[in-house]
Amino acid sequence: MKIVFVIPDMPGGGTERVVSLLANEYSRRGIEVAILLFAGHETAYRLDERIEVVSMGAPTGGRLGARIERIRKMRKYYKENRNCQIWSFSVMGAVFSVIAAWGQKHYLLVSERSDPNQYEHPKIRDFFYGFADVVVCQTKASMESFPVRIVKKAVVLPNPVDIGALAPCDGQREKRVVAVGRIGPPKNHELLIRAFARFVEDYPEYTLELYGKGVQEAELKELASRLGIGRKVIFCGFSDRVQEKINNAAMYVLSSDYEGVSNSLLEAIALGIPVIATDCPIGGCRTYVKDGINGLLVPVGEIEPLADAMRKIAKDPVFAGKLSMEGRKLREEIQVGRIADRFLELRGRKGKQNG
């Protein structure tokens, strides 16, 4: 057996993190693994040296000729690896793989990584998902967003988490608010910065650290400067050691407008960092953040409730400690080995329903 993960690129992000965790786990077990990048060359996360990484080229910019050439290369690769399983962690990866592997016999798993209701071309996506053997969703609400014919072949699996031997912080936490994720519109870092500006009026000793990179960085730096907190908002860039860097932070905040399930959020909970998350559609955050028990949920897009939640954690160390202790229980529930086993068990669901 050979598992081929299909993904556009791996510059650092939640989906890429999940792929790297599963790929490394299977490789350690002696399973042959490849990662097929169809629109890039980067691999930001550490990968087992036995994992084959193959790139089909750079982004095409939507050019038809370039896409045809990409599909030709993918078809050649799949033909050379006749017994491989195709595991697509991208909508377009599923589209290209269905076309490229047409007439070949490959098990096809598709993992839906975001809110299905936010996708621009749902009819196209659903048509190609129809050729999958199984569609993996992150929440029940996500699964139920699809047509019945997709739901029939769908399952809900949590994201894997691996924080290794890193022990939760039991000492004094540093007065840092941290966030991890791509610096782009869906994550709504603007909301976080505006809420932090209000919070820091009462707690001026705190700083805000944003881990990740993306298109909005310059815009958000300007916003922080306009709000008078430019020196307190630190853009830390991408780090493959982010768990170590945030482990002793006072709190972790996810401010997204929509999410599938944020892997960095799960890691923060498992590390025992007090977390605050927006209650996004399809229930990814709500599935894991039990409001007032292992974290706090706040409405999407609202500044003052988010600032209030930050104040609540900052002013009450005993409450923050209770959130921390409860959150650590997640560590064993979704550790990478267990989730890797559940993905492998899905092979028994073979039985395509064409288109």
Task: Identify the domain containing residue 21 by its residue range.
Answer: 2-160+336-349
Task: Tell me, yes or no, whether 224 and 124 share the same domain.
Answer: no
Over residues 30-55, the mean pLDDT reads 96
C-alpha dist (Å) from residue 27 to 18, 19, 170, 331: 14, 12, 33, 22
Task: Tell me, yes or no, whether 200 and 118 share the same domain.
Answer: no
Say if residue 353's pLDDT is above 70.
Answer: no
81: confidence class by pLDDT, cuts 50, 70, 90: very high
Say if residue 161's pLDDT is above 90.
Answer: no
> pLDDT (tens digit, 9 = 90+) per residue, 218-272?
999 999 999 999 999 999 999 989 999 999 999 999 999 988 889 899 999 999 9
Task: Tell me, yes or no, whether 181 and 327 share the same domain.
Answer: yes
Task: Tell me, yes or no, whether 6 and 155 share the same domain.
Answer: yes
169 within a domain of the structure (yes/no): no
Task: Tell me, yes or no, whether 324 and 181 share the same domain.
Answer: yes
Structure tokens given for 24: 């490394």
Separation between Cα atoms, residue 242 and residue 239, nearest integer Å: 5
Instruction: Give the count of beta carbons closer than 10 Å to the beta carbon of residue 44.
Output: 17
Is residue 222 classed exposed, middle or buried when 0-12, 13-18 and 19+ CB atoms within 10 A define those classes? exposed
Tally of structural domains, the chain: 2
Task: Tell me, yes or no, whether 304 and 195 share the same domain.
Answer: yes
Say if residue 287's pLDDT is above 70.
Answer: yes
Say if residue 354's pLDDT is above 60.
Answer: no
Of 37-41, 156-160, 207-211, 329-333, least confident by mean pLDDT is 329-333
3-state helix, strand, coil in the chain (%, to 5): 45, 20, 40
44 within a domain of the structure (yes/no): yes
pLDDT on residue 123: 96
pLDDT on residue 355: 34
Which residue in the block uniquely carries the two structure tokens 């298109």? 215
87 within a domain of the structure (yes/no): yes
Q: Residue 273: which of 183, 177, 194, 187 has the closest Cα?
A: 177
Instruction: CATH number of the domain at 242, please.
Output: 3.40.50.2000
Task: Tell me, yes or no, whether 221 and 318 share the same domain.
Answer: yes
pLDDT on residue 350: 55
User: 82-92 burial, b if ≥16 CB within 10 A, otherwise e?
Assistant: eebbbbbbbbb
Structure tokens given for 186: 């869906």
User: pLDDT over 90 for what percent of the chain?
Assistant: 85
Of 12-21, 45-54, 129-138, least confident by mean pLDDT is 12-21
Say if residue 154's pLDDT is above 70.
Answer: yes
Instruction: Determine contact, residues 254/262, Cβ cutoff 8 Å.
Output: yes
> pLDDT (tens digit, 9 = 90+) per residue, 86-101?
999 999 999 999 999 9
Task: Tell me, yes or no, whether 151 and 8 share the same domain.
Answer: yes
Say if residue 164's pLDDT is above 80.
Answer: no
pLDDT on residue 25: 97
pLDDT on residue 352: 42
213 within a domain of the structure (yes/no): yes
Task: Tell me, yes or no, whether 343 and 321 share the same domain.
Answer: no
Identify which has the larger pLDDT, 158 or 51: 51
Over residues 165-194, the mean pLDDT reads 94
Task: Tell me, yes or no, whether 340 and 318 share the same domain.
Answer: no
355 within a domain of the structure (yes/no): no
Task: Tell me, yes or no, whether 110 and 185 share the same domain.
Answer: no
The overall average pLDDT reported for the chain is 94
Instruction: Give the count of beta carbons closer than 10 Å to the beta carbon of residue 156.
Output: 14
Task: Tell me, yes or no, whether 305 and 340 share the same domain.
Answer: no
